[in-house]
Structure 1
Amino acid sequence: MTVHEDIRSTRGERGRRPDDAGTGIVTAFGRQLKLLRTRAGLPRPEFGSRMGYSASTIASFEQGRRIPLPKFIDRADEVLDAGGILKALKKEVERAQYPPFFRDAARLEADAVALCVYANQLVPGLLQTAEYAEAVFRRQRPLLTWDVIVQRLDARMARQLLHDRQPPPLMSFVIEEPVLRRPIGGREVLRGQWERILWFGRQPHVEIQVMPLDSDDHAALGGPFNLIDTRHGQRIAYTEVQDDSRLYTGPTKIHELECRYGILRSQALTPRESLAFVESLLGET
């Protein structure tokens, strides 16, 4: 795979069906799923029962209104004796679950050996609870349809399977203090998010640092960014704002962001101090 400098700058189309936002792969998968289910003589309720899903969810998959997770595709291929037909579509379907502007970054992230993330608006997706993520999607404007919210939520939670990979990638997060104080979804949702951050911060592959509001110096006023280390020894930078995204591989830009992230980490609270800070937030509620 070759990633070119400034590989992509795309604008997401909020609220549209997944196939409208990308290709028709989701619709094609749904039709194939229905054909195979019908051939197997399984009504939707019976097939859904075997798969652990409701009949209405199976209908959503078949009609291309909702994108199934990879584990569903693997299981469906076996239950329907599809001979690998559904599995052959898995990678493309998985890619389609993300909004267009994030698809290339999601592919790189899933195969990363190390990640550095600076967040100044929201808790990073790799650390979010389902309740926090749902609240984020519900508050987007223009409004997202419920099907798209469910799709995005499934995809957000699926990204976190990265933590379970063996060995997991090394992850470093620098999060602005106001992000941790903004009650997205309400105080109870925020409290659950604090607890989740503490849990992740105690994992050996994760380091979380808080950038305090009272700091008089700040190396990253230009906005959020990620650094992604691939298993091929390549470092790639990702930036995103207002649904426009860019991936960079050029040494000049990479070096600039590497230096910026290093200085930012030195200005932030240490990982130990940061977890103590989050614990103090819990104590305030």
Structure 2
Amino acid sequence: MSVDGLKDATDEPGWEVDPDDDWGVAVVETVGRQLKLRREAVGMRVADFAVAIGYGEDLVYKIEAGKRIPRQEYLDKSDEVLEAGGLVSATWEDVKKVRYPKKVRELGKLEGQAVEIGVYECNSINGLLQTPEHARAVIGAAQPPYSPDDVARMVAARMARQSVFERSPAPAVSFVLEEGALRRPIGGTMVWRQQLERLLEVGRLHNVVLQVMPMSSDTHSGLDGRIELLKFADGTAVGRSDGAFNGRPTSEPRHLRILELRYGTIRAQALSPGESLAFVEQLLGET
């Protein structure tokens, strides 16, 4: 890739530091300061360093000042030019997390530790199941609108959460989605088709159970809103629901029993996993 290409790629939206994220700011400032000290230690001017790594001077200044999140390629190239022996490249493990909003990092951390995940989603397709294109369309439709930087950051965060499907040992994951959300062609026909294909792909994983709540159901225990339940290896759990406990996460056993009862009832009222995959296949065939 050309120098201009690299510069353009790194200057795209989503690589700014959120000033309200204290941990993220500290990480990026620390990495920037380390890069500056290492560059000065080998006697390289910013202009020379920029040419050596293939990025613009302005970007180098921004990264060293902690004003811009460096890409992995930037860190790897810097490590090579500065002969850092992998120490600069290793900072990517923390740097990559800075792109994701604080609240999403916390949710992703919990999902990444859970051995069981149960989700009922009432108005949309759950973020763990969304394609990048669908996520971009959903987030981009918000009012008041998010900035392009915020949209890019939120889409990246949503995709990062999906690493839960790559864990070993795999957690047991179950979803209940509303038929209405599956019929809404968010983003247009092609994006909608890709999203339905993604649901089939994930729904066929050995550790995932996907169910659909049909519009024809005359009994529905999920009208109070979204539910999420996370259980951990040490026997603890956390849950939350839009319609209970002010929508806040709770680990109180009494509260969890209520959420588990609601979620279990919703699953019983929904189509079976086999019927649900057949329903998604039917929708896909109708598009």
The bucket for the TM-score relative to the shorter chain is 0.7 to 0.9
**Equivalent residues in 2 for 1:88-167, closer than 5 Å:** 90-91=93-94, 93=95, 96-167=98-169
Tell me the TM-score normalized by structure 2: 0.77
Distance 1:19 1:228 in 2: 28
State the shift of 1:239 in Å.
3.9
Counterpart for residue 21 of structure 2: 22
**Equivalent residues in 2 for 1:63-74, closer than 5 Å:** 67=69
Distance 2:134 2:62 in 1: 24
Q: Deviations over 1:184-230 (max 9, x none)?
A: 11111011000000011111011100000111111111110210112
Q: Is the 2:174–2:210 contact (alpha carbons within 8 Å) kept by the matching residues of 1?
A: yes
Counterpart for residue 231 of structure 1: 233
Q: Which runs of 5+ in 2 are unaligned?
A: 1-13
Q: Which amino acid letter does the alignment assign opposite residue 283 of structure 2?
A: L
Q: Deviations over 1:1-40 (max 9, x none)?
A: xxxxxxxxxxxxxx9x642232123541562365267457
- Distance change in 2, residues 1:146/1:260 (3 Å): same
Counterpart for residue 266 of structure 1: 268
Q: Which amino acid letter does the alignment assign opposite residue 115 of structure 1?
A: I
Q: Which has the higher helix share?
A: 2
Q: Which amino acid letter does the alignment assign opposite residue 20 of structure 1?
A: P
State the shift of 1:58 in Å.
8.0
Counterpart for residue 202 of structure 1: 204
State the shift of 1:141 in Å.
2.2
Q: Does 1:182 align with 2:184?
A: yes
Specify which of 53, 56, 61 is matched with residue 47 of structure 1.
53
Q: Is the 2:203–2:210 contact (alpha carbons within 8 Å) kept by the matching residues of 1?
A: yes
SS in 2 for 1:223: coil
Q: Which amino acid letter does the alignment assign opposite residue 248 of structure 1?
A: T
State the shift of 1:112 in Å.
1.4
Q: Which amino acid letter does the alignment assign opposite residue 53 of structure 2?
A: F
SS in 2 for 1:19: coil
Distance 1:27 1:166 in 2: 30
- Distance change in 2, residues 1:275/1:48 (3 Å): farther
Q: Is the 1:66–1:151 contact (alpha carbons within 8 Å) kept by the matching residues of 2?
A: no
The number of residues matched between the two structures is: 263
Q: Return 99-108 or 227-236, whichever deviates more.
A: 99-108
Percent identity reads 38
Distance 1:68 1:269 in 2: 46
Please tell me the root mean square deviation across aligned C-alpha atoms, in Å.
3.5
**Bigger Rg, structure 1 or 2:** 2
Distance 2:70 2:231 in 1: 28
